[in-house]
Amino acid sequence: MSFCVLDASSAFPWVFADEATPEADALLDRIGQAGAVVPALWHIEIANRLGMAQRRGRLTPARALEAIDLLLALRLEVDDAPPSRALGPVLDFMRVHGLTAYDAVCLDLAVRRSLPLATHDKALQAAARLAGVTLAGVASSN
């Protein structure tokens, strides 16, 4: 069983040194041991952020390849929920909590799997708390 649902935002402290935290390092270690589950669109979100970072000069192509190697080595289970969930429970989470579709998919996954959610997104953290989802890899001050 996976340790948590991993939102794409929680992976970026492992890629960008200026976003690194002790909590992010501990999360990486825990996922290395127990694994995590991600929504099917997780890799698309990661690719978008890496591509944008390269375009803006924040990430060199060599560093992007290192990041890809790290992320692909993670013990990740890709959730196989049908995309049609977006028109039901995911849309409901969007409406109730004011989330983007990407964030609502992660919240839906955490609720369905009864797993903690690892996210650096403040709105998603707040929605998770309201939905009764435990947060993983978040500093105790949040």
Query: How many other CB atoms are there within 10 angstroms of residue 11's CB atom?
Result: 28
Model confidence at 115, in pLDDT bands (50, 70, 90)? Answer: very high
Model confidence at 62, in pLDDT bands (50, 70, 90)? Answer: very high
Model confidence at 142, in pLDDT bands (50, 70, 90)? Answer: very low
Q: pLDDT tens for residues 81-112?
A: 998 988 999 999 999 999 999 999 999 999 99
pTM: 0.90
Average pLDDT of the segment spanning 2-20: 93
Instruction: Evaluate whether the domain defined by 4-130 bears CATH number 3.90.1150.10.
Output: no
Which has more pLDDT, 139 or 31? 31
Give domain limits for the chain.
Answer: 4-130
The per-residue pLDDT for 1 is 67
The per-residue pLDDT for 102 is 93
Contacts of residue 32, defined as CB under 8 A and 6 or more positions apart, other chains included, come to: 74, 75
Model confidence at 2, in pLDDT bands (50, 70, 90)? Answer: confident
Strands 76-78 and 36-38: parallel
